[in-house]
Structure 1
Amino acid sequence: MRPTPPAGRPIRTAGAVLALCLTLCLATATATGRATATTTAARTGTARTATAAATATAVTVDGTSPGRTFDGVGAISGGGGNSRLLLDYPEPQRGQILDYLFKPGYGAALQILKAEIGGDTNSTDGAESSFEHTRGAVDCSNGYEWWLMEQAKARNPAIKLYALAWGAPGWVGNGNFWSQDMIDYLMDWLGCARQHGLAIDYLGGWNERGYNAAWYENLHATLAAKGFTGTKVVGADDNWSIATSMRTDSALDSAVDIVGTHYPCGYMSAMTSCSSTPDALATGKQLWASENGSEDAETGAAPMARAINRGYLDARMTAIINWPVVAALYPNLGFNTMGLVTADQPWSGAYTVGRSAWATAQTTQFTAPGWQYLDTASGYLGGNRANGSYLSYAAPGKAAWSTVFETMDATADQTVTLQVAGGLPAGALHVWSTDLSASAATTRMTSGADLTATAGVYRLTLRPGRLYTVTTTTGQGAGTAPSPQRGRLALPYTDSLAGTATGQEAAYFAAMNGAFETEPCAGGRAGRCLRQQAPTTPIRWTAESADQPYTLMGDLGWSDYTVAADVLLEQAGTAELLGRVGTQARNNNGLNAYNLRISDTGVWTLLKSDTAWAFTTLASGTVPGVSAGSWHHLALSFQGSAITARIDGAVVAAVTDGSYGAGQIALGTGGYYGAQFSNLSITPGTTAPLDGTYQLADANSGQLLDAANQGTADGTPVIQWPSNGGANQKWRLASTGDGYYTITGVASGKALDLPGPSTLPGTQLDLRSADGGTGQQWLVVPSTGGHYTLESRADGQLADVSGASLTMGAGVIQWPANGGANQSWQLVKAG
C-alpha cells in the first residue's frame, strides 16, 4: 500500500528515493546514490525482475471468454494544484496540450478525468480554491477544474468524470469532514457541475483519510434524494480496508458502488506486480486503482505500462487512474515532473509530451469503458512475468477487439501467435507500438505493418522494452504539434492583479495555501484586486507547521531584481511580500525565501525561511501610519547578497545575506483573513555577465566538471573528477543574448551537450560540436551559498552528479530539480 502519513504525500529525501529504486527497480544500481549513467534502466522503470530467454506464447482471442467489465484508464487533476499553469498557457499551445491529453486518436485519449473539489488548503503542491468559502456563498465560476472538465468533454464527450475532496473550508462541520455539512457541500458542488453542463459519474469521500461508514451511507442516500442517481460512490480512496467492512456491513456494502484504493501496484515503484485482497474480490464490486502513479512523465512510463496490464491480471482492477494528469506547476515544487505532459512555462508556451502519455495511449486509443476483459486471452508471456504481459479486450456485441502486450522486463525477443474465435472479427490486424526502452531516441506511438493470418494463425515478434497493441479498430494516431523552445519570463514585469474575471487567480500565480482570487478593490481603490478569500483555517490534508496562505509566481532564474506591490489588510494581521523564492519542501513543509512582513499596527519584519519552516529575523521595526483598511506599498530589492526593504518608499532595512541567490516572488498573509494586493511590479537589477573561463566544482563533492579521460571527440562523457589543473576541467561560458549560456570545453572546443536532446532523466551529458541547439544552451542560475545551477534549455532539467556520488568519475547527467547540493556548482574563474 501507499505509505501515506497523516501529513499527506510522503516527503522523500534523495536517499529515500534511491532506497526505493534500489529495492524495486534494479539490483545493480550503485550503493552510493541514484543509479549511474550505466544503469539508466533503473531511472526509466525498465527493471529486470528476472532473466528470461526468448519464448513463444500462443494466444486464442475468444469472444466467449469470461471477464470483468473495463472501466477505463484515466488521470487526476488536483491533489496539489498540478494543473494550475495550464490555464495560463497561450494558444495554440494550450489547445495542443489539451488535445494530447483528451482528444481521441491523438495522444493519451484519457477515458476518466478525476478532479479535485477545492478546499482552500494545500493538497500536495498547491491549494485549489473552494467554490464556497463561507456557508451559503456559492460561486460556481471560480477555479479552473470546471474549465478543465469542460475542455475534456469537448474533446471526448464519452469521458467519465470523477470528483474527490482533499480538504474543505473550515466552516464545514466546524472542522469535521465526516459531517452532514460536508455532504451538503458536495451536493452544492454537484449543483455547480450541472450549471456547467457536467454530469459527474463518480464521487469519492476524503482522499486517503480512511472512511466513516455512516457518512458513506448518508452520502449514497442523499445523492438519490437530490436526483444525482447517475453518480456512483467510490470508497474509500485510501486502501482495501473498506472492503473488509463491507463484507459484514450490508448498509455500507449497498452504499459503495466501487471499491477504490491507492497505489496497489506499489508507490513510486516499478509496479511489477499489483494486489487486492480476498475481501475486496468477494464484494463482487468493481475494483479500481483510483490513484496510481506519482511517477515522472518520462521514467514513469514503464511502470505505468506494467500497471495497466498487471492491475487486472494480478488484482482484477478494472480502472487505473494516474496521479496527476499534467505537470503544469513550478519546478521548485516537490512533484514537478509527474504527469503525462510537462508544462511549467506558460510565458514561453513550452511543453513536453511525456512517454507516459504514449504508455496510456496504447490502451486508451484501442478500447473504451464498457468493453469486456477476455480472461482466457490475457496473461504473462511464456507464463513468466519477467517476459512481459498481455491483456485482451472485446467491444460490446463482439464488434471489435484489442490485445495490449508489454515487454518492459524482457531481455530477449518474444514470439506470439494469435488465433481468433468466439465470434470476434478477424481479417487484417493492425499493430501499433511504443518503444519505452532506455535507448529509445524518441518515444511516440507508431503504426507497423498489418498482420495477416496463415492457416488462421497470426504471428508477431515482440522486442524488449516495448508496448504493442494488436487491434481490429481504426482511427488511432499520434499528434505532431510542436512545442516552442523554453525561455525566460522577461523583466520588467508588471500586473495590476485585476485578473481576467472576478473569482479567478491572477496570471501565473499559484496558491500554496488559502484562496487568492480577484475581487472589487477596497480602501477607496477602483477596479479589481487580488484578495485572500479563505476566512478560516480549512480542514487540512497536509500538516505543515506554517500553513498560512501564500501564492507564488515567476521565473526561478530571476536573481537581482526589485519586487513591489500595494497591500491592504482588512483586519488585524500581517501581509507579506516574498522574494527569491526557491525550493519548497514537499507538502509545503518549508520554503527557501526572503519575506517582508507588515502588520496592521505598522510592525514590520524582514525574515528568511528555509525548507523546514525555520524563520530567521534579519531586521525588524515599526513604521507610523499603518492601519487596517489603508493601502501601503512594499518593496524588496536584491543585488548580489544585498537586500533592501522599503515601505511606502522609505528604506526600513538594508542587510546582507547570501543564502539564496535567485527565485520567484510571492504574496501572502499571516493567517486566514482578508487582505488585498495590487500593482505588482518586478524590475531587473544589474547582474554582471558570466562570460569567461571557469572551473565548475560540484557543491556536494567538491570535484570538478571534467571531460572524461581528457577526451575531445563528440560523445565524450562528462564526469566529476578531482582538480588536476587540466584544460579538460576548464569551461568557457558565453552568453547567447537571451539569458542562456553555451558552455564550451577549453581543451576540446566542444560544447556541453544534452544528447538528443533527450527528455529522459538520467541522460548522460557529453561533449559535442557546437550546433546552436537547445541541448547546448544552459540557464546559469545563482542558487544557495554563492553556487549556481545549470538548467537545460531543452527541458528544464539540471546538470546533476549522478546519485550525489562522492566517487571520482561519477557521471554528470540531467535530472529534475530537487534542491540537492549535487545539482549546485561553484564557478571559479580559471587562472
Structure 2
Amino acid sequence: MPVRTHPHPVGMRAPRLWAAALAVVGLCLALVTGVAPGRAHAATATAISVDGNSQGRTFDGVGAISGGGGNTRLLVDYPEPRRSQILDYLFKPGYGASLQILKVEIGGDTNTTDGAESSIEHSPGTINCNNGYEWWLMRQAKQRNPHIKLYGLAWGAPGFLGGHDFWSTTSPSTVDYLMNWLDCAKQHNFTIDYLGGWNERYDRAKSPAWYEALHAALAKHGYATKVVGADNDWAIADDIASDSALSSAVDIVGAHYVCGYRSSQTNCSSTANAQASGKQLWASENGSDDADAGAMAMARGINHGYLDAKLTAYINWPLVASISPNLDYNGVGLVQANQPWSGAYNVGRSTWTMAQTSQFTSPGWKYLDTSSGYLGGNRAGGSYVSYAAPDKSAWSTVFETMDATADQTVSLSVTGGLPGGTLHVWTTDQNAGQPRMVAAPDLSATGGTYQLTLQPKHLYTVTTTTGQAPGTVTGPQRTPQPLPYSDSFAGYPSGAEAKYFAGMNGAFEAAPCGGGRSGQCLRQMTTTPPIQWTNETANQPYTTMGDVNWSDYTVSTDVLLERSGGAADLLGHVGWQKQNNNGLNAYHLTLDTTGTWALQKSDQSWNFTTLSKASGKIAKVHGTDTWHKLSLTFQGSTITAKIDGTQVASVTDTSYGAGQIGLGTVWDTKTHGYYGVQYSNLSVTPGTAPSLKGTYNLVNVNSGMLLDAADEGTSDGTPIIQWPANGGANQKWTLTANADGYYTITNVGSDKTLDVPAETMLPGTQLDLWGANGGTNQQWAVTPSTNGAYTIESRNSGHLVDVSGASTSQNTPVIQWNPNGGSNQQWKLVKAG
C-alpha cells in the first residue's frame, strides 16, 4: 500500500471534556494576566478612547426574518417545554440572540424559497386574520420582549390583486392588501413598526409611484408605520435623490447582502446617494448562512456594516431553520429545529454572535464613531464598534477577531461623561466545538486605562450593563419520526395547518368537509395562481410532511375533487427539492374527475415520467364531490398503487429510495392547480426495513473512492478521507444497528467507530475514528437514496457524510455537511469479505 501523508497529524488527543476545560482555564488566565498560555503575542496594540461626546448615527437594532421560505413552519409544532426554550433563545432579553427586530413575511400562498406562507385573503373579499403562524410568532416575541420592533414584508401576493401586477395601484391592489394586513395586526393588538414593499424587487418605472401610494394609504388609515424601501439594492437611493415625493414616502433605505451574498462579510458597502439621503440605512436582509458555519461572517458583518457603510440595523435571514432536511436552506438560521416529533434542536453559533451585540445595546443608542474602527488600523486583525445610551448612562464596545492569527492587546480609556468603574466582559470562542457566550473576569482601570488581551476568532463585549443570564438548557437527542402515523384532519379549527405539514405552494388548511362527510378536512384553499416570487416553471400547490429517512411504508388518504377536470395528487418518497421550488424528486399517484390515474415520478426540473404500465382509467370514478382513497406502498424497490382498495399498479423503480409523503393538486395550463381539493384520514404505516448488519466497503457515488481511515491509522483521532480501493482493513466498515434504528459504523482495521470530533455541529468538520462511547456523534442513520445508494446522517447534527467540495481526488477529507442532494453525499454499500 502506498505511503500517504495527511494534513492533520494522527495521534492521541486529550479527552474532550478535559480539553474543553483546559480551553476555558486558558481563556480566564489570558483575561486576568493578559497572557495566553502557549500562544505568541502579536505586536499589535490598539488604544481606544470610549468618548460619550463622539458623533454617530442612531442604532436601530439587530434582528432576524421569519419568512421568505416558510422557515419557521416546524417550530410551531414543537412540544413544550422545547418550543418555549427555543423561543427564549430567540427573543428573551439577556438570554440568547435577544432579537431587537422581528421581520415577518406577509403571506401570499406562493413558494418564497423553501415553502409557502398562508395569505389572509385566499379569495377576493374573504379575509381571515388568523391565517398563518406569523401572528403566533409575533405574539411569542412580544410576550418575551415587549420592546421588540415588528417589520412586515411581502414576498408574493394573491393573484387577483392589481391584475396580477404587484406594482399596480389599481384597486384591489397590493397596497389595499397591506392595509388589510395591518388591520389584522391591529386585531391581534400588534403595532407594526416597519413595512416594506416587494422583497428583492424594484421597478424604477413603477415602484416609486407604488411607494407613494403606500405612504398615502398609511396616513389615510391612521398608521404611523415607517416605510422601508426597497429591500433590494441601493437603486432606490438614487431615485430618492432626484424625486422628492419618493423621498417623503420612504423613511428607511434597506438593502440586501450589502457585505456580499453568503460571503465572509469582510467588506460592506453603501452608496454616496444612500449616505446623503438623510435616511437610516439598513442591512435589511443578510446572512443566508448555516447556523454554525455563518457565525464568523455575521460577527464581521454586524461591525463592518457600520464601519464601512453606516448601516444601523443588521437583520439575518432567516430566524430559525425549521424546515425539513430535503430543502436547500435546511441548516440556515440562528437555531436549527427540524424535528418537532423528537423536540431536538441546536442553538447555533450565530445566536451567540448576535448576543454579543444585542444583549448589551438597545435600539435608540448611539454609535460612537471615534470609538469604533479596525484593530491596529487593519481589518485583518479584527474590528470594534462602540455604543452608548442616549443619556450616557451605559455603554458597550463589541470586538471581533475572526481573522486575527495571534493575540493582541487593547487599552481602553473612558471619557465624555460615560461611566467608568468596573467593566464587565463577555466572550464567545468560535474555535470551540460547541461555543456559548460566557462571562470573563471583570476589568479594573490602572492609571485610567483598562487592558484586555484579545485571542483570535473570538468575540468580546466590554460593557457597563448588567443582567445578562445566557441560557444553558439543551434539547433532547434526535430520533426518527415514529410510524405508524395518522391524522383524520377532523380536529383542527378552520384555517389551521395540519400538524407537521409544510405547504410548498398554495394553502392547505382545515375547512368543513364536502361530499356529505361531516366535520373538518384538509383543503387546498387558493383559487387563483398567486403573484410569484420564485421562478419555477410548475408552481402547483402541494404540502409535505414526515421524516426524510422513511423508506418502506404505505401512505394512504381519502380525497375529494371540487372542480371538474381537477386532479388530486398523493406523493411518496419525497426527496430533494431544488432551490426556490424549481423541481422535486418524488413519486406521484394522481386521480382526476374522469377516473384517469397515473403513477409518475418527478425530478429537480419538474419533468414528470409515467412509470411503466402505470396509468389508466377507472370507470367508477366520475365527477366531483365524491370521496376516493389513494394509497402508495414502498417496499424495497417495489411501488404499489391502489385506488379505492383496488391495486392499479405494481412497478419496480430505484430512483428515490426514501423520503416524506405529500398531498397536492395537479398542474394545468389554465389554473396551475389552484383549485379546491379535500383530504381526510391520512395514514402512514411502516413496511419491513431490511437489515444492513454486516461488513462493507463504503463507495462514494461521485468519486468511486472508498471511505478510508488515513494512513491505516488505528489511534483515536485518525482522520477519515476518501482513497482508491486497496483491500485494506482500514477501508472495511461493520454496521451494527441499535434499538433506535441508528447504526454504529466500526472500522475493521482499528475496531474504532466513525465519529464527529467533539460532538461539534459545525459543517465542514472532518470525521475521525474514536473509541466507541455510545454518543450520538457515533450514531448514523443509513438511508436508501437513489439507485441503490445510501445517505449516512449524523444523529448528533443531522449533517450527512460528505466528500469535501465534491472532489474526485484521493486523500480528500470526508466531512459532515448539510444535506444538498449531491452525489458526493451518496454511498454504495458493497459487501466486504
**TM-score bin (small chain):** over 0.9
Are residues 1:191 and 2:187 paired? no
Asked whether the 8 Å contact 1:498–1:506 carries over to 2, the reply is: no
State how far apart, in whole Å, the 2-side matches of 1:802 and 1:52 are. Answer: 33
1:208-607 equivalence runs, <5 A: 208-211=200-203, 212-229=207-224, 231-437=225-431, 440-572=432-564, 573-607=566-600
Q: Deviations over 1:462-496 (max 9, x none)?
A: 11111100000001122011210000111111111
State how far apart, in whole Å, the 2-side matches of 1:184 and 1:544 are. Answer: 27
Q: Which amino acid in structure 1 is aligned with residue 240 of structure 2? A: M
Are residues 1:667 and 2:663 paired? yes
State how far apart, in whole Å, the 2-side matches of 1:577 and 1:350 are. Answer: 29
Which range moved further: 51-60 or 289-298?
Answer: 51-60
State how far apart, in whole Å, the 1-side matches of 2:333 and 2:281 are. Answer: 23
Q: What is residue 827 of structure 1 aligned with on the other side? A: 829
Are residues 1:622 and 2:633 paired? no
Q: Which amino acid in structure 1 is aligned with residue 230 of structure 2? A: A
In the alignment, structure 1 segments of 5+ residues that lack a partner are: 1-34, 39-50
Q: CA deviation at 1:53?
A: 5.1
State how far apart, in whole Å, the 2-side matches of 1:701 and 1:248 are. Answer: 56
Q: What is residue 774 of structure 1 aligned with on the other side? A: 776
Q: What is residue 76 of structure 2 aligned with on the other side? A: 87
Q: 1:149 aligns with which of 132, 138, 147?
A: 138
State how far apart, in whole Å, the 2-side matches of 1:814 and 1:533 are. Answer: 40
Q: Which amino acid in structure 1 is aligned with residue 659 of structure 2? A: G
Q: What is residue 69 of structure 1 aligned with on the other side? A: 58
Q: What is residue 652 of structure 1 aligned with on the other side? A: 648
Q: CA deviation at 1:513?
A: 0.4
Are residues 1:205 and 2:197 paired? yes
Q: Which amino acid in structure 2 is aligned with residue 214 of structure 1? A: A
Q: CA deviation at 1:499?
A: 5.0
Asked whether the 8 Å contact 1:36–1:802 carries over to 2, the reply is: no
Structure-2 change in CA distance of 1:298 and 1:638 (3 Å): same
Asked whether the 8 Å contact 1:309–1:391 carries over to 2, the reply is: yes
Are residues 1:787 and 2:792 paired? no
Paired residue secondary structure (1:305): helix
Paired residue secondary structure (2:43): coil
State how far apart, in whole Å, the 2-side matches of 1:256 and 1:815 are. Answer: 42
Are residues 1:140 and 2:129 paired? yes
Q: What is residue 172 of structure 1 aligned with on the other side? A: 161
Asked whether the 8 Å contact 1:37–1:811 carries over to 2, the reply is: no
Q: Deviations over 1:584-626 (max 9, x none)?
A: 0000001000000111110011111111111111121001222
Asked whether the 8 Å contact 2:700–2:707 carries over to 1, the reply is: yes
Q: CA deviation at 1:36?
A: 9.3
* Percent sequence identity over aligned pairs: 68
Q: Which amino acid in structure 1 is aligned with residue 217 of structure 2? A: T
State how far apart, in whole Å, the 1-side matches of 2:285 and 2:720 are. Answer: 39
Asked whether the 8 Å contact 2:572–2:661 carries over to 1, the reply is: yes
Q: Which amino acid in structure 1 is aligned with residue 569 of structure 2? A: E
State how far apart, in whole Å, the 2-side matches of 1:603 and 1:76 are. Answer: 43
Q: Deviations over 1:228-247 (max 9, x none)?
A: 02x00000000100000001
Q: CA deviation at 1:810?
A: 1.2
Structure-2 change in CA distance of 1:186 and 1:484 (3 Å): same
Asked whether the 8 Å contact 2:336–2:348 carries over to 1, the reply is: yes
State how far apart, in whole Å, the 1-side matches of 2:335 and 2:636 are. Answer: 35
Q: TM (normalized to structure 2)? A: 0.93
State how far apart, in whole Å, the 2-side matches of 1:567 and 1:509 are. Answer: 17
Asked whether the 8 Å contact 1:565–1:678 carries over to 2, the reply is: yes
Asked whether the 8 Å contact 1:499–1:506 carries over to 2, the reply is: no
State how far apart, in whole Å, the 2-side matches of 1:477 and 1:376 are. Answer: 30
Q: 1:689 aligns with which of 688, 691, 695?
A: 691
Q: What is residue 807 of structure 1 aligned with on the other side? A: 809
State how far apart, in whole Å, the 2-side matches of 1:528 and 1:795 are. Answer: 37
Q: Deviations over 1:531-587 (max 9, x none)?
A: 000001000000101100000000011111111000001012111000000000000
1:656-805 equivalence runs, <5 A: 656-670=652-666, 671-805=673-807
Q: Deviations over 1:300-343 (max 9, x none)?
A: 00110001001000000100100000000000001111100000
State how far apart, in whole Å, the 1-side matches of 2:347 and 2:127 are. Answer: 36
Q: CA deviation at 1:442?
A: 2.3
State how far apart, in whole Å, the 1-side matches of 2:726 and 2:214 are. Answer: 70
Q: CA deviation at 1:707?
A: 1.2
Q: CA deviation at 1:828?
A: 1.0
Paired residue secondary structure (1:632): strand
Q: Which amino acid in structure 2 is aligned with residue 702 of structure 1? A: G
State how far apart, in whole Å, the 2-side matches of 1:628 and 1:613 are. Answer: 27
Paired residue secondary structure (1:450): strand
State how far apart, in whole Å, the 2-side matches of 1:747 and 1:410 are. Answer: 40
Asked whether the 8 Å contact 2:434–2:761 carries over to 1, the reply is: no
Paired residue secondary structure (2:409): strand
Q: Deviations over 1:236-265 (max 9, x none)?
A: 000100000001100000000000000000
Q: Which amino acid in structure 2 is aligned with residue 679 of structure 1? A: N
Paired residue secondary structure (2:479): coil
Which range moved further: 406-415 or 583-592?
Answer: 406-415
Asked whether the 8 Å contact 1:52–1:411 carries over to 2, the reply is: no
State how far apart, in whole Å, the 2-side matches of 1:92 and 1:508 are. Answer: 18
Q: 1:613 aligns with which of 601, 606, 629?
A: 606
Q: Which amino acid in structure 1 is aligned with residue 252 of structure 2? A: I
Q: TM (normalized to structure 1)? A: 0.93
Q: Which amino acid in structure 1 is aligned with residue 556 of structure 2? A: A
Q: CA deviation at 1:179?
A: 2.7
Asked whether the 8 Å contact 2:41–2:407 carries over to 1, the reply is: no
State how far apart, in whole Å, the 2-side matches of 1:483 and 1:215 are. Answer: 46
Structure-2 change in CA distance of 1:707 and 1:403 (3 Å): same
Paired residue secondary structure (1:59): strand
Asked whether the 8 Å contact 1:86–1:346 carries over to 2, the reply is: yes
Number of equivalenced pairs: 782
1:5-84 equivalence runs, <5 A: 54-84=43-73
Q: CA deviation at 1:638?
A: 0.8
Q: Which amino acid in structure 1 is aligned with residue 444 of structure 2? A: T
In the alignment, structure 2 segments of 5+ residues that lack a partner are: 1-5, 10-39, 667-672
Q: CA deviation at 1:747?
A: 1.6
Which range moved further: 724-733 or 386-395?
Answer: 724-733
State how far apart, in whole Å, the 2-side matches of 1:37 and 1:728 are. Answer: 17
State how far apart, in whole Å, the 1-side matches of 2:433 and 2:125 are. Answer: 55
State how far apart, in whole Å, the 2-side matches of 1:423 and 1:724 are. Answer: 72
State how far apart, in whole Å, the 2-side matches of 1:727 and 1:53 are. Answer: 46
Paired residue secondary structure (1:518): strand
State how far apart, in whole Å, the 1-side matches of 2:514 and 2:620 are. Answer: 18
Q: Which amino acid in structure 2 is aligned with residue 501 of structure 1? A: P
Paired residue secondary structure (1:396): coil
